[in-house]
Amino acid sequence: MTLKTLVLKRVKDAKIASRILAKASTRTKNNALEKMASNLKGKAGTIIRENKKDIKAARAAGLSKVMVDRLSLDKKRIEEMTASIDAVSRLKDPCGVIDKMWKRPNGLIIGKMRIPIGLIGIIYESRPNVTSDCAALCIKSGNAVMLKGGKESINSNLAIYKVLRDALKESGLPVDCISMVESVDRKVVTHLLEMDDYLDLIIPRGGEALIRMVTDKSKIPVIKHYKGVCHVYVDKEANLKKALKICINAKVQRPGVCNAMETLLVHRALAKDFLPKAIEALRQEGVEIRGCNRTRELADNVKKAKESDWYEEFLDLILAVKVVKDVDDAIEHISKYGSGHSDSIVTENYNISLKFLKEVDSACVYANASTRFTDGYQFGFGAEIGISTDKIHARGPMALKELTIYKYIIFGNGQIRK
Amino acid sequence: MTLKTLVLKRVKDAKIASRILAKASTRTKNNALEKMASNLKGKAGTIIRENKKDIKAARAAGLSKVMVDRLSLDKKRIEEMTASIDAVSRLKDPCGVIDKMWKRPNGLIIGKMRIPIGLIGIIYESRPNVTSDCAALCIKSGNAVMLKGGKESINSNLAIYKVLRDALKESGLPVDCISMVESVDRKVVTHLLEMDDYLDLIIPRGGEALIRMVTDKSKIPVIKHYKGVCHVYVDKEANLKKALKICINAKVQRPGVCNAMETLLVHRALAKDFLPKAIEALRQEGVEIRGCNRTRELADNVKKAKESDWYEEFLDLILAVKVVKDVDDAIEHISKYGSGHSDSIVTENYNISLKFLKEVDSACVYANASTRFTDGYQFGFGAEIGISTDKIHARGPMALKELTIYKYIIFGNGQIRK
């Protein structure tokens, strides 16, 4: 069997399974999720043993310590994976919900009903917990899932995958609701992205290069979870205490994630009062500052920010700082350099706050809060499959509801069109 | 200037315009729409003159009578175009609507606000009214639009385009909110589909070949408006009078559109009573029948349906007819051969109707009504840009709301993440 034939077979089988899953009751789906969680716990030893093979290979290939850490599983991490699945099983089933229903003058009753999307392809990089996290979210939302993880974690992913499929079998759902191709050949991705007769949606999770490649090649709709070049703008009328607290939190609390601040914008009228203090406080937390000329006048030893720094998602303790003329200048900067993820204004001025909330075109726009809240749990959705930076279907935290679509159901009693 | 540079310039200018349009008030947008309508009426003579050039060229190129008719504009058609724009201006503005708002335990108030998508590319074929219809829907929903029509209607489209842009100028909106490249070079489309830094969404409107090409080449999200292989299933417990009325309407009332019935499925227990009568009635309306073996036993002179007929969107007075075992068999057939557009069951059985509504995975699923109701006006949306057969963002009739997306606006008072 050629690789393409194998991929096609898997995709076809998963599509058939998706139709059965779409009809499954909430109870059946929750049952499967509970079994998935308990089986993962029960098989933790096997999974950790398989994970060791990946770690060994990664070290031999000279992967960085950070990369090896991302890849590693231990008992605690497996417990986190099972806790995630349990949390998903407790969430409300989005399928079958009627968003609204109305009656037309001719008597037709039209309802808008939430249903699963169908078969979703997840293309991701090294973290093996993505395997179980995404599988759980897809199953709960009634979607079959085709998983394609990075080659670095192939042994871990396969071990987790087997455990999850056993759970499906035990709960009476088709095992192909969760599918994977065992090969590490990169062509698997190319083949998947062309099978638009079977796959309904692709969600890539990973770095910019992966997402760009998937977007370029895919014939299937893609929802991008791109980079987060997030801004905090400290306005002329900011409360300085709040501003400082928010800036530190947005930059330092977890710098390696997409909702961390990458660029600080400060109103020029406030720069002299605020920036020296802010830079000192940030430096105490280990942050490297790259500033515009005005910033460099106001604080010592600030490296000059290059043009490319304004576009950069540092994912590290590095911050670009720019003094701006006013809120319009700040919005203009965000529009040009931002990634449409999360941006925040700190101000006590009512009208300026509303202007910023209205005019900044990002998935999440904040007034007087840290950008770090952009997250399915923090928004109250209970989970997320990622943060969409796209402008169709879903923006911001994508949770169960965003993994569904709707259909119209129409009740008539013989109506014909005149 | 190379063609690519020209396309890029147009797209960049339109993107800048889109940001100004996104901030425009409902009053400004309606003003522009009213001017668009009145200018079209005022310039009807010029437009018809330009349209004559297209018709002459089409005839010289040997285009079919149907194609020439699609292309043709007269005073009545221009009045229909202006009436469409007026109707759109009376619709509710979807922008700025807060779908919901909630408070988190930490005091953050999160609102989900409808906003324009940004810059939308419409790639369409010969009908010149699409130019004004799509422009009006995009302007009302706050989106700039990049129009790319067929080469057959280039003179008509350019004439309409100039009139629409004049209206924008008079109403104080940037003319580049409606944009077009004057060239008929097919490479314009190829270039557009690669400019994912500026275009947010592509909507192709036309035949299968166009849609396939756009989907294959685009780096920009596409919402497909594909073919409609619509089914009516007449169940064992159908009311025969309703069934006959619905079948005739779904097939005959306007056979050339995507929501017309292409395949009739009949329960075997009913076939003998229903099919001969139905086929006779359909034939009286000029319908050619292509049937399965059982159908051919029940009526004379029925052509045998080929496998490909079950997949076919005839868009003509041709109907494929199949006798099925039961509702499951009907659902199976629709799932295999259908296009996910519109399907209807005729039955007096409560449980069977619900089963069909639940299990058929199409944008619009009907019980006891004609498939011809799948339409923005018939659904009460007041207008539509097309019927989506995709499974993300929007399904079924796509109207103003479906031309928007949302962003989260978050009101804090100093919250940081713990």
Region for A96 from its dihedrals, namely left if φ exceeds 0, alpha if ψ lies in -120 to 50, beta otherwise: left
Phi, psi of B101 (to 5 degrees): -150, 135
Residue B406 to residue B221: CA distance in whole angstroms: 16
Do β-strands A404-415 and A396-398 pair in parallel, antiparallel, or remain unpaired?
unpaired
The length of chain B, given as a count of residues: 418
Q: Please choose, from the candidates A13, A51, A22, the residue with its C-alpha nearest in 3D space to the C-alpha of residue A146.
A: A13
Say whether B415 and A253 touch across the interface (CB within 8 A): no
Least CB-CB distance to A391: which of B368, B405, B411? B405
Residue B253 to residue B351: CA distance in whole angstroms: 30
Q: Please choose, from the candidates B269, B219, B276, B216, the residue with its C-alpha nearest in 3D space to the C-alpha of residue B244.
A: B276
pLDDT of res. A45: 97
**Other CB atoms closer than 10 Å to residue A256's CB: what's the count?**
10
Q: Which residues of chain A have pLDDT under 70?
A: none
DSSP secondary-structure letter at B282? H
Give the best residue of B350, B417, B418 to mutate against chain A (max A CB count within 10 A).
B417
Distance to chain A for B365, nearest Cα, Å: 5
In contact, B313 and B229? CB cutoff 8 Å:
yes
Least CB-CB distance to A407: which of B245, B362, B406? B362
DSSP A281-338: HHHHTT-EEEE-HHHHHHSTTPEEPPGGGGG----SSEEEEEEESSHHHHHHHHHHH-
**Average confidence (pLDDT) over B371-378:** 96
Residues of B in contact with A357 (CB under 8 A): 409, 411
Give the best residue of B196, B375, B392, B398 to mutate against chain A (max A CB count within 10 A).
B392
Kindly provide the residue ranges of all beta strands, DSSP E only, lying in B14-92, ordered along the sequence: none
In contact, A371 and A385? CB cutoff 8 Å:
no
Least confident of A60-69, A311-320, B163-172, B357-366: A60-69
- The fold of the A3-226+395-411 domain, in CATH, is Aldehyde Dehydrogenase; Chain A, domain 1 (3.40.605)
Per residue in B208-220, pLDDT (tens digit) is: 899 999 999 999 9
Residue B49, token pair as written in the block: 């003159």
Say whether A408 and B200 touch across the interface (CB within 8 A): no
pTM: 0.95
Per residue in B113-157, pLDDT (tens digit) is: 999 999 999 999 878 999 999 999 999 999 999 999 999 999 999
Between residues B328 and A225, the one the model is more confident about: B328
Residue B4, token pair as written in the block: 């690519």
Q: Please choose, from the candidates A105, A127, A356, A355, the residue with its C-alpha nearest in 3D space to the C-alpha of residue A232.
A: A356
Chain Cα centroid distance, residue B291: 30
Residue B139 to residue B168: CA distance in whole angstroms: 10
In contact, B368 and B352? CB cutoff 8 Å:
no
In contact, B257 and B272? CB cutoff 8 Å:
no
Query: For residue B252, what pLDDT band results from cuts at 50, 70 and 90?
Result: very high
Residues of B in contact with A97 (CB under 8 A): none
The structural domains of chain A, with segments of one domain joined by +, span 3-226+395-411, 230-373
Alpha-carbon distances, residue B220 vs A58, A392, B19 (angstroms): 35, 10, 19
Q: Which CATH number fits domain B230-373: 3.50.50.60, 3.40.50.720, 3.40.309.10, 3.40.190.290?
A: 3.40.309.10
Q: Do B230-373 and B3-226+395-411 fall under one CATH topology?
A: no
Residue A395 to residue A388: CA distance in whole angstroms: 5
Nearest chain B alpha carbon to A247: B416
In contact, B116 and B403? CB cutoff 8 Å:
yes
In contact, A376 and A382? CB cutoff 8 Å:
yes
In contact, B159 and B50? CB cutoff 8 Å:
yes
